[in-house]
Structure 1
Amino acid sequence: MNGSEAPFELLAPAASTAAPRTDLLFLVMLVICGAMALLLAGLIAWFALRYREGSGAGRAHPPSHANGLEAAWTAVPMLLFIVLFGWAAHDYALERRVPADALPVYVVAKQWMWRLQHGENGRQEINELHVPLNRPVVLVLASQDVIHSFFVPAFRVKQDVVPGRYARLWFSATRLGEFRILCSEYCGSQHSAMLGRVIVMRDADYAKWLASGPPPTGDPTPQQLGQALYQRLACASCHAPDSSVHAPPLAGLYGRTVVLQDGGHVTADEDYLRESIVAPDRRLVAGQPAIMPSYGGQLSEQDVQNLVAYLREFK
């Protein structure tokens, strides 16, 4: 799109660090499957001609089995599948390992739009995502209604967004230009119109764009919005160290291991924090009574996302 495509490419434009790995794996699988299909088609044609009715092929004493051949057609495909599985698993693990310096963007999907907010200064976008060239970007995705799927074909990245939980997706764009965002999960009558675009810019241009939001420095960041919500809901009246209720302290909670009332353990990640806000009785902390009210249905998905963003950095 907009000059970002080469004159000829066997596949769609490859515009991220993940794309070459994905394309190579796909092409290797295509070659292997194609070669196998041609081999089988050739054998079928050869046997059909060689042993056709009336041919002079010898049919006396046909073999009942061939140990070497049977071992070969069992072992070779199995080894190929194991190699491909290991290769794909390695690439998948790389895509799940988010770089520590990735720029955060908070995304809420809803019928039928993408709402995006940059974690650096809070600037918001609808159906557009501006990102810098050659810098990792991590999307924290949530759905407000049904299952959606964030898909950028040129980046070879796709992530389902399921209501009630967070998903993370990262990429590093390697080509300037504009690239389509699609929803690849049927999400209702206007699913096909749930389109957007990623705009990849040079660092200097991205910095100018990011700073050109509403004065003085753009919209409030998700953390600032979450802090305001934390104060408005009077969360400190229960969770502050000197509160009379003695609810679990929230300072430094993110990333820690929490002991549950049923004896289990859970890491305090984004999903756990979200669940503790909208369904606090589901996984009670050991020694804590079920006294926290549920905010499910009272807060929008973006409000919950902002509150979780604040709790991640709460010290």
Structure 2
Amino acid sequence: MSWITSYPATTFMPIQATEIAKEVDLLYAFLIISSLISFVILIGGMTWFLIKFKRTTADQKSAYITHNNFAEFLWSFIPLVIMMVIFYWGMVIFEKLRVPPTDIAAEIHVTAEQWAWTYKYANGKEFYSSANDPLIVPAGKATKLILTSKDVIHSFFVPTFRAKQDAVPGRYTQMWFEPTQPGEYIVFCTEYCGTKHSGMMIKIKAVPSEEYAAWYHAEKKGADTPADKGKVIFAQRACASCHSIDGSRIVGPTMKGLFGSNRKFADGSAASADDNYLRESILVSTAKIVESYPPAMPLFQGQLTDEEVENLIEYIKTIK
């Protein structure tokens, strides 16, 4: 494809395919250089002192060596300052890596299993890595992945993005990235997951945003989207008898504007209504009782499949 970019190898590190990758590499370079300088000062100074102040006479061997308070303060305080700088710098980058921006262009569900990945788009498109299908994303725009696993812990790692996130059974994790240019990027599973772990590789195919939009809207599957499937389950399970979708109060909290809102619970705690909260509330409704509402909802753990729960969550996201 003409849009696939050939990146020149500039360092021993993988190419920097996102802006955050540059920040990660800068911090890494600082760690390497500061560690090298510290090593030279420590080992070089120790060697110099061993040679210069070697005790050779009886008087030298019996002499009492005093200490310098200022020197002792400096060699403790300076490393402390450097460590605090590294900690803060790393914290800032970690927050950027973990908190997605508000202008997400694509949200994709990625499910891991031995030894393949499944990716589902909001419009119903679904692909399997075992069929050599790449994960298609827009270049120059942010993509958010919601990850889970069917069996054991897997780990979704894109070296060129400097981004990695575990896929954990029974819960959702998330990661985001924004490829700066179109291209193909390798994804590794970096959590040992069985005999074919090393072969669990896929490609992320970043295409120009216009090409992505045309691909995304082509061959739409009509009402067969995860949200539409969730709407059917919502009706079949009679969820509307307790949860309104128009903001009115009935037995349970309304679904209108639920996703992303702040929830206050009967025990005084609070949490954001993210994917994990919705999953837990659907399967084990008594885990967190919303303030001023009775614990009336039945448990659906064992009654709904992971896919049905995922579809319900996608439908709830659309009720605004």
**Distance in 2, Cα, partners of 1:289 & 1:248:** 10
Secondary structure, in 3 states, of the residue corresponding to 2:177?
Answer: strand
Between stretches 300-309 and 274-283, larger displacement belongs to 300-309
Cα pair distance change 1:295/1:235, threshold 3 Å: same
Secondary structure, in 3 states, of the residue corresponding to 1:239?
Answer: coil
Partner of 2:201: 195
**Distance in 2, Cα, partners of 1:15 & 1:85:** 24
Amino acid in structure 2 at the alignment position of 1:255: G
Secondary structure, in 3 states, of the residue corresponding to 2:21?
Answer: helix
Between stretches 235-244 and 19-28, larger displacement belongs to 235-244
Partner of 2:262: 257
On the 8 A contact 1:148/1:162 being kept in 2, the answer is yes
**Distance in 1, Cα, partners of 2:42 & 2:117:** 47
**Distance in 1, Cα, partners of 2:175 & 2:197:** 21
2:231 to 213, 222, 227: 227
Partner of 1:313: 318
**Distance in 1, Cα, partners of 2:47 & 2:316:** 67
Between stretches 304-313 and 264-273, larger displacement belongs to 264-273
Partner of 2:189: 183
| TM alignment of 1:1-315, pairs within 5 A | 4-52=6-54, 54=56, 61-102=63-104, 103-119=106-122, 121-127=123-129, 128-212=134-218, 215-216=219-220, 220-240=224-244, 246-315=251-320
1:30 positional shift: 0.6
1:90 positional shift: 1.5
Between stretches 258-267 and 85-94, larger displacement belongs to 258-267
Deviation per residue, 1:190-239 (Å, 9 max, x gap)? 32222211111122332333244xx3457833322222222232221332
On the 8 A contact 1:223/1:309 being kept in 2, the answer is yes
**Distance in 2, Cα, partners of 1:158 & 1:195:** 14
Amino acid in structure 1 at the alignment position of 2:72: E
Deviation per residue, 1:250-290 (Å, 9 max, x gap)? 22222333332334333322221110111112112345444
**Distance in 2, Cα, partners of 1:292 & 1:220:** 28
**Distance in 1, Cα, partners of 2:234 & 2:283:** 14
On the 8 A contact 1:227/1:307 being kept in 2, the answer is yes
1:98 positional shift: 1.6
Cα pair distance change 1:262/1:53, threshold 3 Å: closer
Amino acid in structure 2 at the alignment position of 1:9: T
Deviation per residue, 1:145-182 (Å, 9 max, x gap)? 32222110110001122233322211100133211111
**Distance in 2, Cα, partners of 1:58 & 1:262:** 71
Question: What is the Cα-based RMSD across aligned positions, in Å?
Answer: 2.8
Secondary structure, in 3 states, of the residue corresponding to 2:242?
Answer: helix
Cα pair distance change 1:55/1:190, threshold 3 Å: farther
On the 8 A contact 2:144/2:175 being kept in 1, the answer is yes
On the 8 A contact 1:143/1:301 being kept in 2, the answer is no
**Distance in 1, Cα, partners of 2:278 & 2:98:** 20
On the 8 A contact 1:108/1:302 being kept in 2, the answer is no
**Distance in 1, Cα, partners of 2:165 & 2:52:** 51
Secondary structure, in 3 states, of the residue corresponding to 1:292?
Answer: coil
1:133 positional shift: 1.2
TM-score normalised to the size of structure 2?
0.86
1:78 positional shift: 0.5
**Distance in 1, Cα, partners of 2:194 & 2:285:** 30
Equivalenced residue count is 311
TM-score normalised to the size of structure 1?
0.87
Cα pair distance change 1:158/1:56, threshold 3 Å: farther
The unaligned stretches of length 5 or more in structure 2 are: none
